[in-house]
Structure 1
Amino acid sequence: MKILVPATSANLGPGFDCLGLSLGLFNSVVIEKSNLFSISIYGEGSENLSLKKNNIFVSIFNEVYQRLSGKKDAFRFIFENKIPLSRGLGSSSAVIVGAIGAAFEMAGFRVEKQKILNEALKYENHPDNIAPAVLGGFVVSVVENENVLSIKKPIDENLSAIIVVPNVFMNTEQSRTTLPMSLSLKECVFNLSHSSFLTACFLEKKYDLLAIASKDLIHQTRRMKNLPELFEVQKCALENKALMSTLSGSGSSFFNLVYKEDVKYLKQRLEQKFKDFKILVLEFDNKGFEIC
């Protein structure tokens, strides 16, 4: 079997731990029953020996597969990774969702997306990345009694994403340590109102209001201080036709939403100014993970 899992961009500014969307950039894993365990990695992480010795995908897959099937079988895993590691594009969520979905399939169980999503919550305790990785599109999620409740909206074909990928890693757990333990009422109301407004903008296709809706007071500025160039990335994007420009997850990548007709213009401006950063033009994914 083969499973494809998309990259994701989470938070989208004010929607901390609850908003996310799915990008047309995929990790794929081919899994075959074998007499001996083996693993091959191509693309992102292929030179990282620790990913072969301590592979989280394999660990989660084996754990779920053995629980479902009651068997300890050997498998060959072939990874083709296109999602950059530790850049805020959901590489960890892609691993979790892919491993669980593949384990259900290989164990002979029906792959129900809601079940996969709830199972994934056990490994990542907030749904902003795992929900769009499972469902695709723009997704709003809450957690209730250890279940993920999500509303999905397909993203229009006339929109594209331009992702600015710095050559600097940002660890999510370390990044969270920069966040405050308490917030003022003003900050909470600001983010609640902007997150709600941003959701309404996507649902009603009011994209020209997203630059206002995507403002945040909780996490972005604090995290961006770890890489000050990101302030210039955001400024450049918003001044050159980006509909919104937000830190992707905990960073270091930056997500920019743009009308397709403006992709070339914004891409050129970003490439001219940030020559050391990778600029990716991506479509959106409205399907979530797929088993081939």
Structure 2
Amino acid sequence: MIISVPATSANLGPGFDSLGLSLSLRNRVHIQPSKFFSVSIKGEGANNPRLKGNNLFINIFNDHYTHLTGKRGVFRFRFYNQIPLSRGLGSSSAVIVSAIASAYSAAGVNISRRKLLNLALHYEHHPDNITPAVMGGFNVSVVENNKVYSQRKRIPGYLKAVVVIPDKPISTAHSRTTLPRSYRKDDAIYNLSHSSLLTACFFNESWEMLRIAARDKFHQVARMKNLPELFDVQKLAIENNVLMSTLSGSGSTFFNMVYKEDAKPLLEKFQARFPSFRCAIFDFDNDGVLFRD
């Protein structure tokens, strides 16, 4: 079987821990029964021996497969990873979602996307990355009583993502320690109103208003201080008429949305200005997790 899960960009400015979308950059895992357990990794993380010895995917897979079948299966796992690690593109959520989906598929048990999403919540307590990883498209999500409630919107093909991926990671756990313990009422209202407007812009396809809607007072500035070059990335994007420019997750990647015809010119400007960073154009993904026998 083959399970693939897309990269995600979460928060999207003011939508702290609640908004996210998926990109056409995927991790795939090929699984087949075997006489001997084995793991191979190609792509991102291939040179990291820790990923083979202490693999989050394998641990989650074994937990669910054993629960479903009452036995411990022996499989060969081949990982083909395209999502950069610790760059704010949902690599951990991709692992969690693909591990649960793979266990159910290997056990021959059907699982709905909604159930998969709620099982993933046990490992990732914020729904902003796991929801688009499962559902695809743009998603707004909330958690009530340990259950994810979400709404999804397909993203049209005439929009593209231009991402800037710095050569340095930013740990989500560390970046959260830089955030304030409390927020002023005015800042909370600011983010609430902008997050609401951003959601309405996606569902109504009012793309020109996104630049205003994507402004944030909760987390971006504090996190961007961990890598000050990110302020220059955002400034260059805004000067070149992007629809929105936001820190992707906790960083270090910066996400930019543009019309299709504006993607290549913006990419070339990023490449010229930030030659040590990886800059790329991606389509948006509207499929989410995919299963194939």
Q: TM-score with structure 1 length normalisation?
A: 0.99
Q: Distance in 2 between matches of 1:18 and 1:244?
A: 17
The alpha carbon displacement at 1:233 in A equals 0.2
Matched position secondary structure for 1:203: helix
Alignment of 1:94-133 (within 5 A): 94-133=94-133
Work out whether 1:178 is the aligned partner of 2:170.
no
Contact 1:270/1:279 (<8 A) preserved: yes
The answer for the alignment partner of 2:44 in structure 1 is: 44
Matched position secondary structure for 1:258: strand
Matched position secondary structure for 1:223: helix
Which one-letter code corresponds to 1:83 in the other structure? I
The answer for the alignment partner of 1:283 in structure 2 is: 283
The answer for the alignment partner of 2:75 in structure 1 is: 75
Q: Distance in 1 between matches of 2:231 and 2:212?
A: 16
Matched position secondary structure for 1:142: strand
Work out whether 1:263 is the aligned partner of 2:257.
no
Identity of aligned residues (%): 58
The alpha carbon displacement at 1:111 in A equals 2.2
The answer for the alignment partner of 2:20 in structure 1 is: 20
Q: Distance in 2 between matches of 1:21 and 1:181?
A: 27
Q: Distance in 2 between matches of 1:41 and 1:3?
A: 15
Which one-letter code corresponds to 1:149 in the other structure? Y
Which one-letter code corresponds to 2:69 in the other structure? S
Matched position secondary structure for 2:7: strand
The answer for the alignment partner of 2:91 in structure 1 is: 91
Q: Distance in 1 between matches of 2:65 and 2:125?
A: 21
Deviations 1:95-131 (Å, cap 9, x if unpaired)? Answer: 0000001111111111210000000000000100000
The alpha carbon displacement at 1:241 in A equals 2.4
Contact 1:240/1:269 (<8 A) preserved: no
Q: Distance in 2 between matches of 1:241 and 1:262?
A: 9
Contact 1:165/1:253 (<8 A) preserved: yes
The alpha carbon displacement at 1:34 in A equals 1.0
Q: Distance in 1 between matches of 2:12 and 2:182?
A: 21
Which one-letter code corresponds to 1:176 in the other structure? R
Which one-letter code corresponds to 1:18 in the other structure? S
Q: Which runs of 4+ in 1 moved over 2 A?
A: none
Q: Which runs of 5+ in 2 are unaligned?
A: none
Deviations 1:177-229 (Å, cap 9, x if unpaired)? Answer: 10111100011000000000000000111101111000000000000000000
Count of residue pairs the alignment pairs up: 292
Q: Distance in 2 between matches of 1:280 and 1:160?
A: 10
Which one-letter code corresponds to 1:245 in the other structure? S
Contact 1:57/1:95 (<8 A) preserved: yes
